[in-house]
Structure 1
């Protein structure tokens, strides 16, 4: 099976790791009765910032770095609350109004059947990933995941009733992934998922396990997409061990012509007659649909980064091939080899491809993009998934 391209979308708002530490406080109430909601879960998506309201519905999130966030509130019997907030240079007070879920029977979702085991297994494999760290990830509430396969569209989708609980024993995090939207298009060899995760530190059994988690988190961070984007923002791409090269993809006209001829012959083929292709058409249909041209000279930082009105913009033409030089790839990584059905051997370098879907997109100091849909990645970053996922308030220790 071909390796599937990967679009990892996280609709979250992130904090600046270098900013001042602020307190976000507020009260959660019923939007209809104005009664306080005690013991509701309040958190900032894709971070470790979280709290529980007291009996009067009050909460505090301390030590929050300034920047934009998505604030979420989860409470039994109420709709999941989402709100964009901006933490600046002073403490922030917010009042939250939660909507009760409908009390009608229509709110109860009854599945006609359980998940197909093969469909769920494929979802789990593509959601958690196949890295060494992913092998230590487990979904603790599989019955809350709703997986469906559409044979006509050849597409697999998955959602969750409330959240997907993932326990990552490689990094020491328990992740509640709210609002999961997962889909795999097998025709296009394309998988994407997004949502609003919250990270909780697991309690280590001993100092040895805590030390191993710290080492694994550093390993997951180094060479990751967030590491690269922070390096672009800080103008330290080369210093941080990244080699960035321009990659251009050009369609193969011979393959396109051969495919067109075959489609025409199929459309005009008399009933009951077998299709016989000319030798040249058969030969050209064995060629790849496109060719990649890699510019050997590394791109200068000015070709990736532009400062506009006190903001840092990611901007480039064609594609980027990004190689992280200080580390070797995970031994489980097997990249696709064009023209071959089986994946190739483990390469000697971590190589990823970055596609920019818009002319430019803003980067925040901690590696967040203003519009997560603006990029698509493949290669090694597409291989890394939940097993390497870190909260955006993670800061690696200084060497």
Structure 2
């Protein structure tokens, strides 16, 4: 029915409880000298800055929640720190470590199959939607690819940030790729990393178009759905949730199709059937023994299957899964890739 997809992008909770600032100073761990020009950003958000000549940085307008603070500069190992933000924060000096960068092997002439591998990578990394067709990877030279013939697994690595220009949504994205595996045999995709979103500069007309397209991308998304669940506005936001019962197909002989016999129970579920409160403020959980079939009634093609493969799948006030690996998404949400990704601090236009 759907191609099975495991899409792992590390996203962190982002509870909407206020706006704060984070201040700190970045220094070389050996010399204790300040490090200027380091990029400092919050993972998968649009909040970020650079250190000044004294190594000092301030990130303003940070919404309360838990983040990964990422500090990156050429010549140093990337620094990552988990940080709970519920007030203005001044960090102690952040020590970063110089890193010896191994020179890449110089290859004379074209690398066999590199262009083909790059196209395969783009299709799975960016996606194949209208948004993806307006995305460009600006520095493809940072990418290397490999294919394990025995295991039928295609992998990609990056020697630096992958820089993406998304002209559909008006974002410049720096993506630090941790892992990328396309398992041809299992029909699964696994990629993980950290993104920083920056608004592109454009004309008034372009900015208006980008804002509209961001809104269109948000509507019907998993972020939109989970925020509607929290607000108990699932029906009002034009979502419908039904039970999908899957049973192993005794006649299954391999491949990606017909592995299960599927039955849809069309009686709509209510929020309490699959959502639980937790003892943590701003944290919620999905729990359901069968699959959830989520239909967005404003778009007949926007149907998604949610298979919870853990006792609970926790999510936060911003509609972000705390552990994306706890859920397998298929259909519309499973087809989404980086080109359809919005920063976790995105706020839709309200009328």
TM-score by length of 2: 0.93
Match of 2:341 among 377, 386, 389: 389
* 8 Å Cα contact 2:69-2:83 kept in structure 1: yes
Q: Does 1:294 align with 2:289?
A: no
**CA distance in 2: counterparts of 1:141 and 1:41, whole angstroms:** 18
Q: Does 1:249 align with 2:201?
A: no
Write out aligned runs for 1:108-123 (5 A). Answer: 108-110=103-105, 114=111, 116-123=114-121
Q: Deviations over 1:248-305 (max 9, x none)?
A: 111122x15xx59xxxxxxxxxxxxxxxxxxxxxxxx9x9332111111111111121
More displaced stretch, 128-137 vs 178-187? 178-187
**CA distance in 2: counterparts of 1:3 and 1:356, whole angstroms:** 16
**CA distance in 2: counterparts of 1:89 and 1:24, whole angstroms:** 9
* Deviation, structure 1 residue 94: 4.2
**CA distance in 1: counterparts of 2:307 and 2:40, whole angstroms:** 34
**CA distance in 1: counterparts of 2:277 and 2:92, whole angstroms:** 32
Distance 1:3-1:180 versus aligned 2 partners, 3 A rule: farther
* 8 Å Cα contact 2:19-2:64 kept in structure 1: yes
More displaced stretch, 61-70 vs 118-127? 118-127
* 8 Å Cα contact 2:22-2:58 kept in structure 1: yes
More displaced stretch, 154-163 vs 308-317? 308-317
* 8 Å Cα contact 1:306-1:314 kept in structure 2: yes
Q: Deviations over 1:317-359 (max 9, x none)?
A: 11111111113xxxxxxxxxxxxxxxxxxxx331111111211
More displaced stretch, 20-29 vs 114-123? 114-123
* 8 Å Cα contact 1:28-1:98 kept in structure 2: yes
**Partner of residue 222, structure 1:** 219
**Partner of residue 203, structure 1:** 201
**Partner of residue 45, structure 1:** 43
**CA distance in 2: counterparts of 1:233 and 1:92, whole angstroms:** 31
**Partner of residue 9, structure 1:** 8
**Partner of residue 209, structure 2:** 212
* Deviation, structure 1 residue 25: 0.4
Higher helix share: 1
C-alpha RMSD of matched pairs (Å): 2.0
**CA distance in 1: counterparts of 2:4 and 2:105, whole angstroms:** 33
* Deviation, structure 1 residue 116: 2.1
* Deviation, structure 1 residue 111: 6.0
* Deviation, structure 1 residue 37: 0.4
For the pair shown, which has the larger CA radius of gyration, 1 or 2?
A: 1
More displaced stretch, 240-249 vs 225-234? 225-234
**CA distance in 2: counterparts of 1:301 and 1:138, whole angstroms:** 39
* 8 Å Cα contact 2:152-2:185 kept in structure 1: yes
Match of 1:65 among 63, 66, 82: 63
Gapped regions of structure 1 (runs ≥ 5): 261-284, 328-347
* Deviation, structure 1 residue 4: 4.1
**Partner of residue 129, structure 2:** 131
Q: How many residues align?
A: 345
* 8 Å Cα contact 2:11-2:321 kept in structure 1: no
**Partner of residue 337, structure 1:** none
**Partner of residue 76, structure 1:** 74
More displaced stretch, 233-242 vs 170-179? 233-242
* 8 Å Cα contact 1:3-1:189 kept in structure 2: no
Q: Deviations over 1:151-188 (max 9, x none)?
A: 22111111110111111000000000013421111111
**CA distance in 2: counterparts of 1:222 and 1:53, whole angstroms:** 36
* Deviation, structure 1 residue 35: 1.2
* 8 Å Cα contact 2:13-2:315 kept in structure 1: no
* Deviation, structure 1 residue 3: 6.8
* 8 Å Cα contact 1:72-1:81 kept in structure 2: yes
**Partner of residue 273, structure 2:** 303
* Deviation, structure 1 residue 95: 2.6
More displaced stretch, 84-93 vs 359-368? 84-93
**CA distance in 1: counterparts of 2:197 and 2:265, whole angstroms:** 40
Write out aligned runs for 1:1-399 (5 A). Answer: 4-16=3-15, 18-102=16-100, 107-110=102-105, 114=111, 116-204=114-202, 206-253=203-250, 255-256=251-252, 259=253, 288-309=258-279, 310=281, 311-327=283-299, 348-399=300-351
